[in-house]
Structure 1
Amino acid sequence: MQEIERKFLVNNLKFKEEAVSSFEIAQGFLNTHAERTVRIRIKGNQGFLTIKGKSNESGTSRFEWETEISIAEAKQLLKLCEKGIIEKKRYNIPSGNHTFEVDEFFGDNEGLIIAEVELQHENEAFNKPDWLGKEVTGQTPYYNSQLSKKPYKTWNHE
């Protein structure tokens, strides 16, 4: 139940050529407290309830618990979420022994593309595709829970 991942911005759209699958995601947050987030997600035709704890100092790992719920339950719970539903398309891209999940955001976060890779331990080595950009692991503004409150389109992009 420990999630260990690193996040990166994406430099270009070449990742789409390497994707083996993709699907639409809508998600909202019932709670975005600094100590924990409670997320409702609709991924394709599945629903999920996820609880995440506070990140460690590096932002690389944190507690995560997830369970599948019915799509009907997820749709109802999305209506109870805090303002700011996240809309994105996720691409799965194999790279060596890992799979990158690349999220292309839409709506209020359009223009933002973030790649994540899950690891077994914090210092684990992994291949870095050429489309991978600046690392943003642990940078709070890039957390989905924060993007729901302060969307990418409101940022100063100078």
Structure 2
Amino acid sequence: MTEIERKFLITSEEFKKAAFRKTRIKQGYLNSDPDRTVRVRLRDGQGFLTVKGRSSENGLSRFEWEREINSEEAEDLLKLCEAGVIDKIRYEITSGKHIFEVDEFFGENEGLLLAEVELSHENEEIEKPDWLGKEVTGDKRYYNAFLSKNPFKTWNK
């Protein structure tokens, strides 16, 4: 139930050529408090309810609990969410023994490309693809709950 992941910015759209899966995701937050975020997600007709705890000090790990719910329930819950629903396409790409998930954001977060890779332990080595840029693990600005309230388009870059 502990999620361990690293996050990176993307330097090019070359990842799209290597993607083996592409999924549209719509998600909102019933609670975006960093101590206990509660997320509702609709992913290609499947609904999910996810609870996440506060991240560790280095940003690599945190508690995560997720359950599948039906799509009608997810749609109903999305109507109750805080303002700032996230809309994105997720691309899945294999690199070495890992799968990188690259999110291409739309709406108020358009222009942001963000990769995540899940690990089995915090010191696990990864094979970095050429399109992987600066690491932003632990930078709370890149958490979806933060992006829902502070969209990428409003940042002073």
Asked if TM exceeds 0.5, the reply is: yes
Tell me what 2:93 maps to: 93
Q: CA deviation at 1:137?
A: 0.4
Tell me what 2:130 maps to: 130
SS at match of 1:5: strand
Provide the rounded CA distance (Å) in 2 between the counterparts of 1:7 and 1:33: 20
Deviation digits for residues 45-82 of structure 1 (CA, Å, limit 9, x no counterpart): 10000000000000000000000000000000000000
Q: Percent identity?
A: 63
Tell me what 2:59 maps to: 59
- CA RMSD for the aligned pairs? 0.4
SS at match of 1:92: strand
SS at match of 1:12: coil
Q: How does 1:66-145 map to 2 (within 5 A)?
A: 66-145=66-145
> TM (normalized to structure 1)?
0.99
Provide the rounded CA distance (Å) in 2 between the counterparts of 1:124 and 1:86: 30
SS at match of 1:156: coil
SS at match of 1:24: strand
Provide the rounded CA distance (Å) in 2 between the counterparts of 1:124 and 1:23: 27
Tell me what 2:6 maps to: 6
**Ranges in structure 2 where 5+ consecutive residues have no aligned partner:** none
Provide the rounded CA distance (Å) in 1 between the counterparts of 2:21 and 2:109: 22
Provide the rounded CA distance (Å) in 2 between the counterparts of 1:34 and 1:104: 23
Is the counterpart of residue 150 in structure 1 residue 150 in structure 2? yes
Deviation digits for residues 99-123 of structure 1 (CA, Å, limit 9, x no counterpart): 0000000000000000000000000
SS at match of 2:80: coil
Q: CA deviation at 1:34?
A: 2.0
Letter in 2 for 1:123: N
Provide the rounded CA distance (Å) in 2 between the counterparts of 1:43 and 1:36: 22
Letter in 1 for 2:122: E
Q: CA deviation at 1:86?
A: 0.2
* Residues paired across the two proteins, number: 157
Moved over 2 A (4+): none
Is the counterpart of residue 49 in structure 1 residue 49 in structure 2? yes
Provide the rounded CA distance (Å) in 1 between the counterparts of 2:64 and 2:86: 19
Letter in 1 for 2:13: L
